[in-house]
Structures are given as C-alpha cells and as structure tokens.
Amino acid sequence: MSLTAEQELQAISLIRGFAMDAPLHAKSGHQGTAMSLAPLAHVLYSRIMRHSPTEPHWVDRDRFILSNGHASILQYSMLYLAGYGLELDDLRAFRQWGSSTPGHPEVHHTTGVEVTTGPLGQGFANAVGMAIAERRLRGQFGDASVDHHTFVLAGDGCFMEGVSHEAASLAGHLRLGKLVCVYDDNHVTIDGDTGLAYSDDVARRFEAYGWHVEQLGEIADDLDALEAGIRRGMAETERPSLLILRTHIGFPSPDLTDDPHAHGNPFTAELVANTKRVMGIPDEPFWAPAELVAAYRAHCAERGAAEVSAWTARHHEARLDAALWDATWHATGLAGWQDSLPTYGTDQSVATRVAIEQAFNATLDKVPALIAGAADLTGNTGTKLKGQNAQSAEHPAGRQVYYGVREHGMGSAMVGMALHGGVLPAGGTFFVFADYMRPSVRLAALSRAKVVFVFTHDSVGVGEDGPTHQPVEHLATLRAVPDLQVIRPADANETMQAWVAAVDHDGPTALVLSRQNIPVRTDGSAVARGAAVLRDTDEASAPQLVIVATGSEVALALDAAEQLAGEMRVRVVSMPSWDRFELQGDDYRTAVLPAGVPVLSVEAATTFGWARYADRSIGIDRFGASAPGAVALDRLGINVDHVVSTARAMVAG
C-alpha cells in the first residue's frame, strides 16, 4: 500500500515531534538536525532505499549510515515508523540505561543500525568501506545476488574531521559509484556559525577528489525534489556522489531555527509547544496516530517483501556454490581450511610479518572473504596477496586494496567492510602508526567488527629509523581496549595459529608482528589458550622461577633459561595473548603461572600492565634510539645477560 500525501506530511511531523520529545524527556540529546532532516529521512526509508523491516539482515539491502550520529533520534524515529521493532516505550527510554535507543546509534544493539556512529567522520569513512565491500561481493558473486547502494548522511563536523579527507580521497580514486552521501549543510556547530572555523569550499573539494557533486539547494522540505536529487546521485554509477542539501537546523521552530542552541540543548516544554503549534499537531508527548503508524509500517513491509522476493528468485537462479556463499558471508573458512597452513621447523628463522603473508596466501582460496592491503606498506607488512588484482572499478572483485598513506581512513573503511558483511579485511601498517588509526580500532572493538589489524615492526628492533618509528607504549594501549583480541606471536608457528584465532574470532584482532627474523622455537599451541609452557623443569621438581615472554623475546627467554639450567629450575612461558589467557579458567592459569613462584616478564615494550602477572619486568620504559635493531635492543636491556642477572637476583631473594 502506498502512503498518501497527507500521510507523508503527518509522518514528517511525527518525526519532528519525536526529535523534540525524546531529548526533552531525557533532558539530553540533539533535536535540531533531526528536525531539519526529517523529510529527507522519510524519503529515503519510504521511497528510495531497498530494505525489509521483517528481514532486517537481508544481505542485499541498501545500507544507511547516520555519520552525524548525535542526531540518533532521527534514525530511531524512522526505525519506529518503518517497523524495525522499536516502540514508543523505547523512544521514551532514549539515552537511558539498558534502552534500545542509546545516545548514539550502536550496531548489534538496535535492529536497523548498520554501524556505530558518533565520533564525527567515522560513519562517513565506514560508508566508504561498505561501498568497497558491496563492489567486491558484486564482482565475486554477480549482480543478481549483490547489487545495492550505501547511503550516508554527514554534516559539517564530519567533513572537518581529518578522517573524512582520507576516506573521500580513497572513495573518489576507487570510483565507488554505489556510494551516495547527503551533506547536511546547515552552517551550524556547537560553538556557533561554521564561519568561526570553517570556510572550505566542500563542493570543489569533493570534485577534486573525483566525486560527482550536486548542489541541491533549498529543497529540504520538497519531497519530490529530494527524491529526484537522490535518484540522480544513484544514477551516477562511475563516481561516488555528494549531494549538498542546504538545511536550517531546528526548523520549523519559530524560536530556534538556524540557532546553534538547537543543536545540543533540549528544547524547553514551551519551545516544543510553540513548534508543534506551527506544525499543527497536538501538544502531547510522542504523538503517534495509530492509523498513521500502521499505514507506514504496512507500506515499508510491503515494499521490503517485494524486494526480498525478487532478490530470492534472482539469487536462486544464479545457482551459486552454497558453501562458498556461506563462508564468505560469515567471514570464515571453508571446511578444513586450517590444513592449508604451513608448519615450520626449528632450523628456520622467519620474521612474523613474513609468516603472516605466507598464512594469507596459503589460505587465500579457503578463506573467501579475505581481502588485504596496507597504508602504502603492502610488501613491508605482509599483506600482499599473490596473483590478486587491485580493488578497482576495472577489477571489482579485486582482493588487494591499496589504501595509500591513509591509516585512519584505512582503519575506518575496514570497519565498514566488516560490518557490511561478506568481507574479512586485513590491513597493515607499522605498529607505531596505530596511533593514526586508534579511533577506528576502538570503534572496531565497540562494534565487534571482524577486522584484522596487522601491525608490524613491533619494537625498537625496527632499528635505524629511530624513536619516531619504534613502538614502546603501543602494546599496553591496545591491551587496554575492551573486546580487542591482541596477539603477539613468538615465531612463525605461533603466527599461523594467530591467523586461525583471528578467523575464528567474532570481533577485531590486532596481530603484532616483527620486522626482524625470529628463530622458530614453538609449535604454535600457546595461541589457543593465550599462554603455554614451552620449557619446564622435571615433573618431580617445581620451578624456582617462571620467565614469561611474548614475541621475539620468547627465544631470548629460552636462551636465558638454558644458560641458567645448571643453577636453578626455570620454566619458560610464551604468552602471545593476554586476553585469550584471561578467558581460561583459574586452574589453567594457575597451572601455567603457579602461585608462590616468582615470575619475570620479558618484553621489548613498556612494562606497564605486567604487574598483573609478574613480580619483576624487563622492558623498555623510555623511547628508543636510532641504531641497528639488534644494537637498539641490546643497549636498552633486551638481552640474555640482563635476563640471566635479573633471574639470579630474584631467586637469591
């Protein structure tokens, strides 16, 4: 059933009413942007987007991202109206503990929300990743099974943030024709008029990036003009589209239209009443006529069912390999995929950045969702896939992504790819440059996005480049991020198992890998449980000391234990992953690190945090220095002699 013109106008008034009522009720929130964009949101959900409220995870749905996530009440209002499961009580619980309507949209928390947004610019960059994922999957499976658009709403704040520059440049270069961004050009930020700090010519900027740009002008309340403008953007298949919509924040408030106070300060009851009077709707909280809501939901459900039915027929006719399709969409491996991984002998010495590339290429045909790339460091970080085309308009199925020197844009795009589904993105850079992508790493963890961050050159072993390129504090900062799996493998065998752990994990993984060659000294089994004993005393004698190490320092710890063998009983533990170790039961953790036995940790990084496991720590609690890697490590105390002397002092008491 179609909506009448009167019902469309009523729906827009309902959205604007909710945009005021929910922040007023919560005494917190942002109503102004949601009010001015109500007609646009209505047009997208009721006229443009292919989506199904009854099958919200349908794989070929159009994706919608609210990059200016502070306007979350706009998206919640649409999800309520369209029938995605939100009801009036959910809107009344806006921004409250345990509600389905948190302050900013959160994926997996509210049905219909595709990505977690709020930090400005991130959602825009996520949308670029989603468009990459759509094109990769369309190239892989054909447009009968994958063929949809990504729509993103972004504001001035999104385009001020640096990540938007990186992501927009990448999108233009890749010619992502299925990406449509509507720029909410309202000239307002919290501080006041954007002219206080912002005089960019956004249209010319995006044209220079290679986007199709159109000034829609003053049509924010003209439904037919909005629809026509969006469809023109959709018709531009060779370039991403930026549609610049001049809006007036807080409209139609007679008191605060175009006023910065409409941005983040809830309207008073009087201001709400004045605005509802102008709109001609009752001055009652959460006004929602039952007939209107029922008609809107029926309209969206009917449109969605027709789209899903047509897609199901096309997809069935395509007769794709079901196992391949399922493994791709679940971003996992085909049956027995781990059997393709190589194993390494103790006569080998391999940099773990080299080992991860061998893992990727050994399983490339068995992990069909994998795409890989780097921030201009593809060969350096082990993210080069053999025989694969670069992702591009000419090669839409390409699995190699060249991100250029854009760490922040890369990280955010990978989050978008993962949350789109069907893509397991692995992206590499030097570990020290994790600082350039920390917001996207954090949001990957918050979103449980299945992303593999490949961080190489993991210590002062980087060498001559010096302290600007030598990570020291970075391991500690990553370990502090909730729900981020962090693995620093000791050698090539542990690297293979780290790849298994990443593919099997249901969230993001950071692989922290060496530049320098490391002797193979393990069978890799420590990764599964986070830590394991590599060298022990005889069964009849308890250890006098446990040396626990990660990464390249595991071999060093084993060498030190051999040197101490004649004078004390030493156990050596490899602990590639703190978070996986913490998931084990008390019995296992105590078996590895026995109570009452002193523990010495060895790691070429800050010792911060090791007090949870160790009584003494050898590490680097200063910045590094420019020198050959082996020299830098030795001069900063990461050597066998230092471990041996410290062990003797600990056992002597």
The catalytic site residues sit at 407
3-state secondary structure of 125: helix
Q: What residues pair up with 66 in beta bridges, in sequence order?
A: 153
Q: Which of 580, 570, 571, 478 is nearest to 526 (CA)?
A: 580
Q: Output the CA–CA distances (angstroms, integers) from residue 497 to 455, 582, 588, 646, in the order listed.
A: 16, 18, 19, 31
For the four alpha carbons of 307, 180, 177 and 329, in that order, the dihedral sign comes to: negative
Positive or negative, the CA dihedral 413, 415, 421, 425 is: positive
Q: What is the DSSP string of 71-119?
A: GHHHHHHHHHHHTSS--HHHHHTTT-TT-SS-SS--TTTSTT--S---S
**For the chain, how far is it from start to end, CA to CA, in angstroms?**
82
Say how far apart CA 335 and CA 508 lie, in whole Å: 22
| DSSP state for residue 421 in the 8-state scheme | S
Angle between helix axes 438-447 and 122-141 (nearest 10 degrees) is 70
Residues with Cβ within 8 Å of residue 269, at least 6 apart in sequence: 24
Q: For residue 45, what is the DSSP state?
A: I
Which of 510, 509, 496, 530 shows the shortest CA–CA distance to 456? Answer: 510
Q: Across the strands, what pairs with 350?
A: 518
Identify which of 174, 74, 61 has the alpha carbon closest to the alpha carbon of residue 117. 74
Q: List the Cα angle 37/39/42 in 5-degree steps.
A: 110
* Residue 134 CB coordination number (10 Å): 27
Beta pairing class for 400-402 and 532-535: unpaired
Closest to 597 measured CA to CA, from 638, 541, 641, 538? 541
Tokens of 98: 């345990």
**Tokens standing for residue 300:** 């969206």
What SS3 string covers 277-330? HHHCCCCCCCCCCHHHHHHHHHHHHHHHHHHHHHHHHHHHHHCCCHHHHHHHHC
State the residue for tokens 């308890």: 542
Q: How far is CA 43 from the centre of its chain?
A: 28
User: In sequence order, what are the beta bridge partners of 425?
Assistant: 371
How are beta strands 532-535 and 570-574 bridged, if at all? antiparallel
**Dihedral Cα 228, 113, 505, 132, nearest 10 deg:** 10
Please report the DSSP string for 164-224 in residue order.
Answer: HHHHHHHHHHHT-TTEEEEEEE--EETTEEGGGT----HHHHHHHHT-EEEEEES-TT-HH
Alpha-carbon distances of 53 from 48, 79, 422, 476, rounded to whole Å: 14, 8, 21, 42
Question: Residue 522 and residue 493: Cα distance in Å, rounded?
Answer: 6
CA distances from 197 to 182, 194, 413, 531 (A): 22, 6, 27, 51
